[in-house]
Amino acid sequence: MSSLVKNRPMGQITIRTAVRADMARISAIYGHWVENGTASFELEAPDEREMVRRWQALVDGGYPYIVAADGEAVAGYAYAGPYRARPGYRFTVECAVYIAPEQQRRGVGRRLLERLVEAAEARGFRQMIAIVGGSEHRASIELHRAVGFDVIGTLRGVGRKHGGWLDSVLMQRTLGSGSATPPEDA
């Protein structure tokens, strides 16, 4: 990929709710990172049908799922989902952010993550967890720090991909009043 493509001026990026029509591009973005990166510990990229199923489950569960659009093209996406399945964790979400390779280093990830935090707060969630694949993934760690996440721990060598052992860096951000007040349905 030429540096001209990577460094071109950012068009009119808009952040909006993901829709079914975005799933082909979302599948392609995620597939790229499954095959070429360590953000996901999946070893084979799921097909579009599976990505639609995952998206629909999150939307039906009341979780935010958003895209950054550069004109008509999806430049990246982010979502929050359940942190753990047990009901005691229902006010905590885990986040994910994926950016198209040609859109990196243009502020798309930060805009998505900031909007995702706002959307999760608006839904009454109180904590957001990021699990960064690989402690060498400095760009992701710094993105989360810039949006208010703190590193809370590192699980060493818990994943294996691309012929090597990978850490998981755990990061956390309080949403709204966090644990300072009880939730409305407590």
pLDDT tens-digit map of 48-66: 999 999 999 999 999 999 9
Cβ proximity of 114 and 147 under 8 Å = yes
Q: Tell the CATH topology of 3-180.
A: Aminopeptidase (3.40.630)
Cβ proximity of 68 and 13 under 8 Å = yes
Q: What is the rounded CA–CA span in Å between residue 20 and residue 12?
A: 22
Helices (H) and strands (E) in the chain, counts: 5, 7
Each domain of the chain, given as residue ranges in start order, spans 3-180
Sheet with 150-161: strands ordered across: 13-17, 65-70, 73-82, 92-99, 127-133, 164-174, 150-161
pLDDT tens-digit map of 120-157: 999 999 999 999 999 999 999 999 999 999 999 999 99
Q: Which residue shows structure tokens 């569960």?
A: 61
Mean pLDDT for the chain? 93
* Per-residue pLDDT at 10 exceeds 60: no
